Amino acid sequence: MTDATTGQSHRADLHDNRRQVLYWRLLSRLFDNEEQTTLESASVAVVEDIGLPPALLDPQASVDSIVQRHPELAAEFEGLMVPEPQSGADGEARDRAAEVRRAALVSKVLLNVFAAGSGTVSAAQLSRWQSDAGWLERALGCKPGELRGGRPGGGPGRGVGPTGTGGGGATPDLSRLIPAIGPELGAIEADLVRRMHLREVLADPRLAAQLTPSMSLIEQLLRDKNNLSGVALANAKALIRRYVDDVADVLRTQVEKATVGAVDRSVPPKRVFRNLDLDRTIWKNLTNWSPEEERLYVDRLFYRHTARRTTPQRLIVVVDQSGSMVDSMVNCTILASIFAGLPKVDVHLIAYDTRAIDLTPWVNDPFEALLRTNLGGGNDGPVAMAMARPKIAEPRNTVMVWISDFYEFDRSQPLFEGIEAVHRSGVKFIPVGSVTSSGRQEVNPWFRERFKALGTPVISGHIRKLVDELKTFLA
């Protein structure tokens, strides 16, 4: 073995040892919050050796603060954990030094998100965790908020997408990432919110301003709204409205992209210049081409059809507002308001637990509708069906969307009989397991099998699927 080969082998072993130190520290911190002195000192040496800031090892330092002090690291965090193209079979293409650097950055993101500690949580701590969770989602090639499924990332127009972003490698498989990581992130965030003295935070405008709206936070605010007053209630309403407006921007974009009616060819096209079909006009007049004059004589113009079929439709949305369906309640209330704003769509909104409430008068304002909900309690679907059925005027011109996990205890048979009667009358019935940004759902198997036999299978809980289903009927 040559000296060069020996040197390469030694460097490879050194890099592997460094990487193992960082990951052992990560595991010890995740499963035992007590500091392991030997691992900490060894990790500090590794981080300093590879030219990264020691603040990466500080549990109190957020990723935001690291990036603010070292802006060059922002690009490294983006797509950090996206799978890279496979190297050669012999492994010679591995960059072990880069693997050590990546291990240090990955450890920082994972520890800040998954080692959330215990005890009381402040508004600043919650906001910091939400920001760090956003960096984890970026590292996985997603948009902030995408895996949590609780809120859109990046402002208006940016929502949950089917593919990842960033990173130099392959796009992550979100169909696996979302079910595996999304619920875990959501559970940690919900636990942080529960550990806050939320009422005291809301009563302080400075602390309330530090809160970042999330599904977990909105759920707590909706549950506790009747116990708030004065400044605390005003701050709670402001947070709910911010969240509703952000989600509405994303959903409105999805609806606008989807709700395009079929071209109505029974209506003659308008003979105006903007409707001129230039390609078809040239094609149809090619026989009039004069080679001698090199000129095309046009004796007939062709225009595009732009009129679209729009039939008045009635949309009845029934949402289970029991404790397990909060995400669906928020999303569907907003979605119903968006469809209510479309021309010639008559939207009715009903929420229920053991009682039913008709939210139709506030369907155009999801904020006001949500304030009138009463989250929690059991399920009594037949009560909601008794309120919904009188709203059916023309069955074949009506779609009923029923969002629930369909766990009805002793009321399953009466509810299914009511649904079966509505379906057989000609109403387009769409059962939905849940409506979340992550598509997670759990549906009573008894109902699932009967809906399938009825020819109305439960659709995926992803909100985009529901938008597509509604578009098909309303277009």
- State the Cα–Cα distance between residues 52 and 73, nearest whole angstrom: 9
Q: With contact defined as beta carbons under 8 Å apart, do 98 and 49 qualify?
A: no
Q: Say if residue 202's pLDDT is above 60.
A: yes
Q: Of the candidates 331, 335, 365, which has an alpha carbon nearest to the alpha carbon of residue 435?
A: 331
Name the pTM for this structure: 0.61
Residues 372-394: tens digit of each pLDDT: 887 766 778 999 999 999 999 89
Residues 400-416: tens digit of each pLDDT: 989 888 887 777 899 99
Whats the size of the chain, residue-wise? 475
Q: Say if residue 181's pLDDT is above 60.
A: yes
- State the Cα–Cα distance between residues 385 and 310, nearest whole angstrom: 28
DSSP string, 433-467: S--BSS------HHHHHHHHHHT-PPBPSBHHHHH
Cα 316 → chain centroid: 24
Identify the band that residue 450 occupies on the pLDDT scale cut at 50, 70 and 90: very high
Average pLDDT over residues 203-215: 85
Residues β-bridged to residue 74: none
- Ranges of each domain in the chain: 10-83+94-252, 267-307, 313-474
Q: How many Cα atoms sit within 13 Å of 249 on the Cβ side?
A: 14
Cα 299 → chain centroid: 54
pLDDT of amino acid 177: 58
Strands 356-358 and 428-432: unpaired
Q: Of the candidates 4, 15, 81, 87, which has an alpha carbon nearest to the alpha carbon of residue 46?
A: 15
Backbone angles phi, psi at 258, to 5 degrees: -90, -35
Helix (H, G, I), strand (E, B) or coil at 431: strand
Residues 226-277: tens digit of each pLDDT: 888 899 999 999 999 888 888 887 777 767 665 444 444 555 666 766 778 8
Residues β-bridged to residue 398: 314
Number of C-beta neighbours around residue 95 at 10 A: 12
Strands 356-358 and 345-352: antiparallel
Min mean pLDDT across 102-111, 163-172, 197-206, 396-405 is at 163-172
Q: With contact defined as beta carbons under 8 Å apart, do 364 and 337 qualify?
A: yes
pLDDT of amino acid 436: 60
What would the two tokens of residue 203 be?
A: 């009563």
Q: What percent of the chain has pLDDT over 90?
A: 14
Strands 295-296 and 289-290: antiparallel
pLDDT of amino acid 385: 95
Q: CATH classification of 313-474, choosing from 2.30.130.10, 3.40.50.410, 3.40.640.10, 3.40.190.10?
A: 3.40.50.410
Integer-rounded Cα Rg, in Å, for the chain is 28
